[in-house]
Amino acid sequence: MPRFAAGVVRFQNNIYPEKQGLFEELSKGQSPEALFIACSDSRVETAMITQTEPGELFICRNAGNIVPPHTEHTGGMTASIEYAVAVLKVPHIVVCGHTECGAMKGAMNPEGLAGLPHVAKWLGYSKAAVEVVDSLAEDDTPPEERMRMLIQQNVLLQLQPLRTHPSVAAALAKGTTELHGWVYDIKTGDVHAYDDKQEKFLPV
C-alpha cells in the first residue's frame, strides 16, 4: 500500500496539474466513445492499450470478459450495459479478450475449479465457446492453438448475448451503436479485431 499511496501523491503533484482542465471538464459529466468490456486480469490495462484519456471509455471488467444474457435478474453487468447504452449512448461496444487468460484456462479445464463454485458457475457462460473449439479442433491440435481458438470464440460468443439486452438491441436497430470483438496479446502488444466480412480476426 505505501507504493500505491506514493503513486497518489505523484498523481496529485505531477499528473493532475498537467490535465487539470480535462478533469474540471469531466467533473461536469461524461460522454465516453465506447463501452469496453474486458477481463479483470491485472495485466490488461485498457487505457494503455487504447491510449485513451479519462472519460473516453466506460469500462466493465470481469473474469473472462463475459456478458450474461439479459434476464429480469439485476446484476452489475446488466445495469452497466443498460446505463452505457441508454443514458451515455456509447456509439461502440468492445468485448476484449486476451492471451494467457486464466478464466479461459478454467473453462477448458473445469475439473481444476473444485472449491471455486462461483467461478465454475460464472464460466458456464463460456461453455458454448469450449464446445465450438472441441468441434473445430483436430485431435492433434496443440493445446496452445486450442487456447487461442477458445479466447477468440469466447469473444465472439459474448457478442451474442449483448444483443439480448433491450438497450443494445434498440441501439443496434437504430444504427447508433456498433459491436466489436478484440483479442489483446499480452506478450507482443498486438491487438486483433474480428472482421465480419472476412470472418476472422485481423491486426488492428
CA distance 34 to 93: 5
Selected catalytic residue, list 96, 101, 165, 192: 101
Q: Is 43 a catalytic residue?
A: yes
Cell of 46: 485498457
Q: Is 101 a catalytic residue?
A: yes
Give the burial string for 104-121 (b: 16+ CB within 10 Å, else e): bebbbeeeebeeeeebbe
CA distance 3 to 23: 24
DSSP 6-74: HHHHHIIIIIHHHTHHHHHHHTT----SEEEEEE--TT--HHHHHT--TTSEEEEEETT---PPP-SS-
Cell of 49: 492499450
CA distance 132 to 154: 9
Selected catalytic residue, list 70, 98, 148, 165: 98
Q: Is 96 a catalytic residue?
A: no
Q: Is 163 a catalytic residue?
A: no
Q: Is 192 a catalytic residue?
A: no
CA distance 23 to 37: 23
Residues annotated as part of the active site: 39, 41, 43, 98, 101
